[in-house]
């Protein structure tokens, strides 16, 4: 099939490359000239394991094209997938400016092709408030007039950054909202190679498909806030969340996924999708109480962790003049995405209280340099021990594998202080008791040198 991806971000690029890999003819369109230039040179603009190799293979096979030319991208496509960002605006509402601008561009091309063209399917793959896909249809219809044929569909994406290729190639399910059988059949054909192992393709109405995505993300966010609330209770009463987690998660009805205590969720999806549910509720006169609490617990989780850092340094004059080393800057491991990353919140707070901040991340360093401004504000290091050198404390904010078994004796010899604030519970308390470090984690009592 001839497909066009609108937006070459984490979703658009992975989707385009994976569809090309099953034999489709894919054009990836973006408005960012730097991204398109990089892609044409074979450079992947994001870090996603396995993506560069797949890009190369399909580009060389002539099944993948990158362009800035909207008319060219839309003219011959049978299906157009809108994969642009849908961030929250300052009030927490979903900002649809990228969706609307893509819709207007598509409409402009459809209009020039006129009523005799083969009908195209315009698919919203971005996560959008319920009703948006039908608004896109109306928006395009208003521009192209009644006689130009096209249909719309909603096909939410469930991939996880860091494991996106695998998730896309072997989805637990494919969800598609359609208005007619012909469009549904096109999706079955397109996704058939991805569900050979028997996973379902759910065809449903468009509004339900849009809601599936929010329901899924909000449920996962709820699990994270739930376990963090339990962790906070554990801290207050001297219980150990690690043991509580084991005892609780062995119940098959509960399961053990997405129930890790930490610094709260970040990234470009959960925070904005929780807010979107709250806003959708407000608009409909239904208070989304649970979503509000999930959001609030999440916001407070970082503050609570920062309070521990401040409390620790209180007796030695506070954070002013202290050096804090941050291990892990991306919002989670195996990605360079720093959107809503807990590390950045904590770094900014620490700097606000006068600390000097150093940071290390295996892949997100460049993004942090770009986001945090002049290089002298945060010292970005190329290696984890270099980052720890001279620091009064380490803060672990992303659970990259390389942080899991550090050389504590080496750390003790190069750091100024011997304190670790572990926002990911990477180490056993009994292990830390032998290192001579003061060790704080989440939902467990601190370990202090005897």
* Residues making contact with ligand NAD (CB under 6 A): 6-12, 29-32, 35, 83-86, 98, 101-102, 105, 126-127, 157, 159, 161, 268-269
Shorter beta-carbon distance to ligand NAD: residue 7 or 406:
7
Q: 200-203: long-range contacts at Cβ-Cβ below 8 A with a sequence spacing of 24 or more?
A: 200/173, 200/174, 201/173, 201/174, 201/176, 202/173, 202/174, 202/175, 202/176, 203/176, 203/177, 203/178
- 3-class DSSP assignment, residue 427: coil
Shorter beta-carbon distance to ligand NAD: residue 312 or 334:
334
Provide the minimum distance between the beta carbon of 159 and ligand NAD in the complex, in angstroms, as a whole number: 5
Of 363, 316, 371, the C-alpha closest to 347 is 371
Buried residues in 164-182 as b, exposed as e (16+ CB within 10 A): bbebbbebeebbbbbbeee
* 252: phi then psi, degrees, rounded to nearest 5: -60, -30
Residue sitting closest to ligand NAD (CB): 9
Whether residue 269 lies in the annotated active site: yes
269, 277, 381, 387: the catalytic one is 269
Provide the minimum distance between the beta carbon of 148 and ligand NAD in the complex, in angstroms, as a whole number: 20
The number of angstroms, rounded, from the C-alpha of 147 to the middle of its chain's C-alpha atoms is 40
Please state at what angle helix 206-237 crosses helix 241-249, rounded to 10 degrees.
130
Q: How many whole angstroms separate alpha carbon 169 and alpha carbon 266?
A: 25
Provide the minimum distance between the beta carbon of 427 and ligand NAD in the complex, in angstroms, as a whole number: 28
Provide the minimum distance between the beta carbon of 135 and ligand NAD in the complex, in angstroms, as a whole number: 15
Provide the minimum distance between the beta carbon of 32 and ligand NAD in the complex, in angstroms, as a whole number: 4
Provide the minimum distance between the beta carbon of 335 and ligand NAD in the complex, in angstroms, as a whole number: 8
**Other C-beta atoms within 10 Å of 405: how many?**
10
Triad 379, 380, 386: Cα angle to 5°: 90
Shorter beta-carbon distance to ligand NAD: residue 273 or 392:
273
Provide the minimum distance between the beta carbon of 99 and ligand NAD in the complex, in angstroms, as a whole number: 8
* 347: phi then psi, degrees, rounded to nearest 5: -60, -45
List all residues 6 or more positions away from 161 whose beta carbon is below 8 Å from its beta carbon: 10, 48, 267, 332, 334, 335, 337
Q: How many whole angstroms separate alpha carbon 297 and alpha carbon 291?
A: 10
Tokens 């090309």: give the residue: 20
Shorter beta-carbon distance to ligand NAD: residue 4 or 425:
4
For the annotated catalytic residues, the residue numbers are: 269
């Amino acid at each position: 099939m001839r497909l066009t991806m609108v937006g070459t971000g984490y979703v658009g690029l992975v989707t385009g490359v994976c569809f090309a890999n099953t034999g489709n003819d894919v054009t990836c369109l973006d408005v960012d000239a730097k991204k398109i230039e990089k892609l044409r040179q074979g450079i992947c603009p994001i870090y996603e394991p396995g993506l560069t190799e797949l890009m190369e293979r399909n580009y060389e096979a002539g099944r993948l094209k990158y362009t800035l030319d909207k008319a060219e991208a839309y003219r011959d496509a049978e299906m157009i997938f809108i994969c642009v960002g849908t961030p929250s605006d300052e009030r927490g509402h979903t900002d649809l400016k990228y969706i609307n601008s893509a819709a207007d561009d598509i409409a402009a091309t459809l209009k020039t092709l006129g009523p005799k063209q083969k009908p195209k399917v315009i698919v919203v793959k971005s996560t959008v408030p319920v009703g948006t896909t039908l608004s896109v249809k109306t928006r395009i219809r208003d521009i192209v007039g009644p006689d130009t044929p096209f249909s719309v569909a909603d096909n939410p994406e469930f991939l996880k950054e860091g494991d996106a290729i695998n998730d896309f190639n072997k989805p637990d399910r494919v969800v598609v909202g359609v208005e007619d059988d012909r469009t549904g059949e096109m999706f079955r054909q397109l996704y058939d190679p991805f569900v050979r192992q028997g996973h379902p393709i759910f065809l449903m109405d468009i509004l339900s498909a849009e809601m599936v995505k929010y329901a899924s993300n909000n449920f996962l966010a709820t699990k994270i806030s739930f376990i963090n609330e339990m962790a906070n209770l554990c801290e207050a009463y001297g219980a150990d969340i690690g043991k509580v987690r084991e005892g609780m998660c062995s119940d098959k009805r509960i399961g053990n996924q997405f129930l890790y205590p930490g610094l709260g969720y970040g990234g470009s999806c959960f925070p904005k999708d929780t807010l979107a549910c709250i806003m959708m509720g407000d608009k409909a006169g239904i208070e989304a109480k649970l979503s509000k609490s999930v959001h609030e617990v999440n916001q407070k989780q970082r503050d609570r962790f920062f309070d521990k850092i401040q409390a620790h340094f209180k007796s030695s004059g506070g954070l002013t003049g202290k050096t804090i080393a941050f291990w892990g800057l991306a919002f989670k491991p195996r990605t360079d995405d720093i959107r809503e990353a807990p590390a950045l919140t904590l770094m900014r707070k620490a700097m606000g209280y006068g600390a000097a901040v150093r940071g290390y991340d295996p892949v997100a360093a460049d993004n942090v340099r770009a986001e945090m401004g002049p290089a002298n504000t945060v010292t970005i290091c190329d290696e984890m021990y270099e980052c720890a050198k001279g620091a009064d404390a380490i803060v672990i904010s992303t659970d990259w594998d390389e942080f899991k078994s550090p050389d504590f004796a080496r750390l003790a010899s190069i750091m100024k202080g011997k304190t670790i604030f572990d926002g990911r519970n990477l180490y056993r308390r009994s292990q830390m008791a032998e290192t001579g470090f003061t060790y704080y984690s989440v939902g467990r009592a601190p370990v202090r040198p005897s």
